[in-house]
Amino acid sequence: MKGEYIKIKKGALILAVAVIGLLIGGLVYALTDNFYANLEEFSQVASVVNSHYMEDVNPQDLIKAGIKGMLEALDPYSEYLDPKQYDALLEDTHGQFEGLGIEIAIKDGWLTVISPLEDTPAEKMGIQAGDRIIKIEGVSTEGITVEEAVKKLRGKRGTVVHITIEREGIGEPMEYAIQRDVISLRAVPYYGLAGEGIGYVRLNRFSDISGDELREAVSELLREDIRGLILDLRGNPGGLLSQVIAVVSVFLEPDKLVVETKGKMISQNKEFYSFGKPLFSDLPLAVLIDEGSASGSEIVAGAIQDWDRGVIIGDTSFGKGLVQNVVQLKDGAGLKLTTARYLMPSGRSIQKPEDLNNTIISVQEDREANSHRTDTTQTKPEFFTKEGRVVYGDGGIVPDVVVPYENLSPLEYNLLAKLSFFDFAVHYTATHPSLPRDFEVDDAMFSEFKQFLTTRGFSYQTSSELELEKLKEAVTEEERSEAVNQQIEVLEKLLNIEKEKDFDLSKDYIKSEIRENVLVKLYGQNAKYEGVWFKHHPQIKKAIQILSSPEEYKKLLSAK
């Protein structure tokens, strides 16, 4: 009887599977048929536009525009990459290219060196920040774009490029013949001691060398007998998932779940675990994040937080919890397509729901999760760490200790955006090339900076001035009475008086930025960490304080 029952059940099961298979097959056929019907409509529209539009159109441009529009309907991260964009993506993830090793920008219409990279042909030949490259192979660079310049400056290892440079303080242009080489983009641009017994590592990307570079840095710091470590992921946009796992494996014991991916295709449903021998699995750890920390950075911070392995400090991260796969297309182009979402060990998603508002994919669970999204943690869905601490889903990693950045004033924003600190550092060091590392920005140097801005015609508008401009536009000349004109003139004078105080209100910030830019100009990028960051960045100072207090650190990681 029991055997007959099993046989009947098996037969029913086989029949059920067969029926379901037919239903699914029919559905797939219907969906496929519908897909190709719409594709035919797309082709028809493109054909009509090509034949009947009032001007000649490039069919290739039409198709690419259609592809981009299709991907824009999905989510913010799926995109078509032209061959140059695809090569740039590969370069960023591989962490190297062949060229001179300089960061460049266009300033005042001329190609300008922002910074030579450490231990590169450009640095070895003495190229400096602020140098103006006026010729490449004898051809003027006036009006050149960065993209055009990069194409001319890069080339195969061992080949030579000739450039002509103008440098402030040097009367005649200088000629350089620089041999190109392989340039490695370091994932760890700096590591050192941020305080007594406190190590610091800056990780700025997840390229194919990130795990190895981090292990090397942590190993060196452990030789200094550190009792705590700061991992700085601020502004890190992410990168290769394999390297994200490698980074987490430095801090977690093996076989700990780091992240899970969930997608429509079964092949996208995966779990990723820490592996190998950790270097730093028991000493206090602080991870710094901000709103510029995205994707891979959020996975690292989230895994560390969910396993109660360290304290997360800073501001809520960006909230990019979607998986992109890159497919190479013909002619060197590429397709970056979102295929899954990330889930942290606690089960939470880090994706900002509002970033999916334009998606055409409809998933009930997504809608339910999105309903929790607000700007505060009060209505976010709650999850729990290994030790029972509450953490939050739907929108980035919320730090254990919130230390937000202060908003820049209009003056500060404009000084940064117009590279005023960089320009002043180039100008000042031309006449003060022997400043010691421990110099301070005194009032005389501050005043010289203000005078420098005046000679360069620096200007900006405060928020009050912008509002006054709107008022003046709203009240036309014909409608203004003499009394109104007089009142507007009074307001303008008052605003100018108040504006004079902006420099004094921002004095500490301005001095800090001047010091950082001058240090970098004279002593290289590494000088800014010890000279400015460790002393003035509130997130780093808070991390040093917490790591220096075992009681406070332990309290932050305990369930309340």
Tell me which residues are annotated as active site. Answer: 295, 306, 320
Residue with structure tokens 């950082």?
516
Work out the number of other CB atoms within 10 angstroms of the CB of residue 229. 27
Q: Cβ-count burial of 153 within 10 angstroms (0-12 exposed, 13-18 middle, 19+ buried)?
A: buried
Contacting residues for 556 by C-beta, under 8 A, at least 6 apart: 311, 400, 401, 546
Q: Which is nearest to 418 in space by CA: 451, 449, 459, 463?
A: 459
> H-helix or E-strand containing 260?
strand 257-263
Q: Locate 425 and state its tokens.
A: 């550092």
* Phi, psi for 111 (deg, rounded to 5): -70, 125
Tell the burial category of 257 from Cβ atoms under 10 Å away from its Cβ (0-12, 13-18, 19+): middle
- Sort 285 into a burial class: Cβ within 10 Å, 0-12 / 13-18 / 19+: buried
- The C-alpha atoms of residue 54 and residue 63 are separated, in whole angstroms, by 18
Phi, psi dihedral angles at 333 (to 5 degrees): -80, 175
Angstrom distance (rounded) from CA 474 to CA 478:
11
Asked whether the beta carbons of 337 and 325 are under 8 A apart, the reply is: yes
From 209, 207, 201, 160, select the one nearest 180 (Cα to Cα). Answer: 160
- In whole angstroms, give the CA distance from residue 441 to residue 525: 18
Encoded amino acid at 487, one letter: Q
435-to-321, 425, 518 alpha-carbon distances in Å: 46, 12, 9
Please report, for residues 144, 425, 510, the alpha-carbon distance to residue 419 in angstroms, rounded to integers and kept in the order given. Answer: 19, 10, 12
Asked if residues 218 and 187 have their Cβ atoms less than 8 Å apart, the reply is no
